[in-house]
Structure 1
Amino acid sequence: MESVPTIKIHIEKYMRENDLKLQHFSDITGINVGTLSAILKGSRPMSMNQLNQITLAMGLEKGYFYESYGVESFIESTPHWRRLEPYLYECAELGKLDSIQQVIIHVTDDRSYIEELFGVAESLYGKGMNEAALILYRCVADCEKYQHSERLALCQYRIFLLQKTLSKFDNLKAAIKFEPYIDKLNEELQLDAIKDVANLYATIHVWDRVLDLAEKLEQRVEFQLNFRSGKRKTKPRVSFYPIFSYRAYANLLKATVAERRKQYKKALKYTDVYEDIMNGIENPTEEERELIERFKGWAEGNRYLYTLLLGDFNILDDYLSYLNANPKEILTAFVYIVKAANQCSYDIDRALDKFKTHINNIKSRKLCKGNIQRGDIES
């Protein structure tokens, strides 16, 4: 089997071909000549910063030697976190996922790095480097010694969020696999997890599970609100949204399930509940005001929709005015308007003509995805 040239061999070849002495190459790279000499002799390991300086001096693109560096520094040699951590970040930034995967498989033989790898995964996740983060989360989850740990549960939550596909079957498997870990998460973070799993079940129309999770979400919110009652706020919020908003969201989910089951009066009742919850917030912050307005908008649109589905077309003109002010909802709304008209043998040609151009434009641009709407529940 032919041996692969090491980084050291590449450097020495470059220096020979360009007739460069060590001092000259030191000047070009900006690396101390003694340090450079020790690196080439193999008596001193090369840092990521030094590797990047050398690569640039040789006129090569950043990351050219990353695969070789990973093999030489972490597979053929004993890994050191001081070099491994920046390597993972640099590979993530350049999208060198295969290099990360190759190194991580060997590094996790030593489980002492699990905590550090989890920290890097969280950092990458926070920066939106999701593919690299997913590799690390899977690695940590596979190597986690304590199956009831919060860290394992959080890894599984991140994996659940990051590996959603267009396949309903795959998403269903992901939800089923993740659900047992929800109760092991931080109690506030459980609210987000329940909401996210409920949203996934809604997209694949598993309405029984959506309803179960909506009720579970409401119960967890009540616990959190009671627990916080009378206590000083000494810790930063863990949940993505203010706690009370999850109670409103739980009732929005219930309203959606009721509508899907053609229980329109029940859907209206839940709509009143989540609107009342939001209206009951005193001295709201800017974030809370934005949420209140969002829920009020959903309540208004959904109330028109459910009333229409009950056969009351007296509100159609008001609904059309609402849609005119909220064009993102037009296409979805008209699916239900046509459905209601067919059920009640009601002539809606005037309404269709009014929005014909807009509907055709939306179809041509394929802008069919909105925020929380009927049939498309997102947070």
Structure 2
Amino acid sequence: METRKTTQKSIRSEIDKNMKENGYTLSKLSELSGVNPGHLSEILNSNPPRAITIGQLDTLAKVFKKAPGWLYELYPEECIAEEKISRPRLIPYLVRCAEIGRQNCIDVVVSRLLENPKNVSILFTVAEQLFQTGGKVMSVPFYQLVIEAEKDSHSDHFLISQYRLFRALQGTSPEDNWKAVIRFEPYRNRLSENHQLDALLHLANACYMLQKWKDVEKYADELRTLAIAVYQDQLRKKESGKTVEMLHTERHLVVYYGQSSLLKGVALTMQEQYEEAEKHVIKIY
């Protein structure tokens, strides 16, 4: 009986196969892809081989005229080996999977990551990268995974994930917006001052769009109180010669104070409390 040899499919065997099919030498492939020829040689021929980055794999896919996500199902082996995880390779891979919709690849990796609670930080970093680069909707499943896996509801990862989730779910429908407000509200005061200032302003604006004037008042009051407290703390530090740490916020501190008064005034006006509203509007001039 004839015995057939089976060759396990791998990224390197597929690259080698496509090189032969296209008649490419190593130097030709390097020329077409822009990948350093030495690196290509180490990726394909060294023992152990040099790891390939997801960017290099995407570049080779274009050279071979393959669809985006070529060989992605094999890429986890470049990132995870014997419980050792390469964050520099895994995080860009998961981000890219989210961008092109390779949920099957994400699911496989996530199941392996969640075997160790420490790996939640990787999912959080992926979510943050997607959120910061405009992929708010794509970040949602990753933030949800962090929230579900994080045991400490006071941890930065948990709280920022709750905040980002609130932000990402805005702009869908009034009903969904209100649900997002209700879900996030219990966590708003646990955030750092940097995030609290932004969070309170976004909560007030969300309620403004929903015409929930009492809630607009509440968040505007909280925002004004916090803005004043932060300013006074900065002033004390400056007067005593201490270093004043830079606020990592979306806006300048004075904007939060001004917006709090404006939102309070509008909310009171909409409730026909005109004299009281006038006091708050005058404060910003």
- The separation in 2 between residues aligned to 1:256 and 1:134, in whole angstroms, is 32
Contact 1:26 1:36 in 2 (8 A): no
Q: Deviations over 1:106-148 (max 9, x none)?
A: 3233222223433343333333232333333222222223111
Contact 1:156 1:181 in 2 (8 A): yes
Match of 2:86 in 1: 80
Question: The residue matched to 1:230 in structure 2 has which SS?
Answer: helix
* Alignment CA distance shift 1:129-1:100 (3 Å): farther
Give the residue type in structure 1 aligned to 2:207.
Y
User: CA offset at residue 241 of structure 1?
Assistant: 2.2
* Alignment CA distance shift 1:73-1:96 (3 Å): farther
* Alignment CA distance shift 1:100-1:165 (3 Å): farther
Q: Deviations over 1:343-368 (max 9, x none)?
A: xxxxxxxxxxxxxxxxxxxxxxxxxx
Matched, 1:235 2:245: yes
- The separation in 2 between residues aligned to 1:155 and 1:149, in whole angstroms, is 10
Matched, 1:11 2:15: yes
Question: The residue matched to 1:147 in structure 2 has which SS?
Answer: coil
Match of 2:44 in 1: 36
Q: Superposition RMSD on alpha carbons, in Å?
A: 3.1
Contact 1:124 1:130 in 2 (8 A): yes
Give the residue type in structure 1 aligned to 2:44.
L
- The separation in 2 between residues aligned to 1:16 and 1:188, in whole angstroms, is 56
Contact 1:214 1:253 in 2 (8 A): yes
User: CA offset at residue 226 of structure 1?
Assistant: 2.2
Indicate which of 126, 142, 151 corresponds to 2:148.
Answer: 142
| Structure 1 stretches lacking a partner, 5+ long | 276-379
Give the residue type in structure 1 aligned to 2:86.
H
* Aligned ranges 1:42-191 → 2 under 5 Å: 45-66=51-72, 68-70=73-75, 72-73=77-78, 78=83, 79-91=85-97, 94-96=99-101, 98=103, 101-102=106-107, 103-191=109-197
Contact 1:218 1:247 in 2 (8 A): yes
* Alignment CA distance shift 1:211-1:71 (3 Å): same
Give the residue type in structure 1 aligned to 2:280.
Y
* Alignment CA distance shift 1:55-1:180 (3 Å): same
- The separation in 1 between residues aligned to 2:16 and 2:172, in whole angstroms, is 50
Q: Deviations over 1:148-181 (max 9, x none)?
A: 1133111111110011243222211111110111
Matched, 1:263 2:263: no
Corresponding pairs, count: 265
Q: Deviations over 1:255-283 (max 9, x none)?
A: 111221123333323211222xxxxxxxx
- The separation in 2 between residues aligned to 1:51 and 1:205, in whole angstroms, is 50
| Structure 2 stretches lacking a partner, 5+ long | 1-7, 31-36
Contact 1:70 1:99 in 2 (8 A): no
Larger Rg: 1
Indicate which of 198, 209, 214 corresponds to 2:215.
Answer: 209
For normalisation by structure 2, the TM-score amounts to 0.78
User: CA offset at residue 234 of structure 1?
Assistant: 2.9
Q: Percent of aligned pairs with the same residue?
A: 27
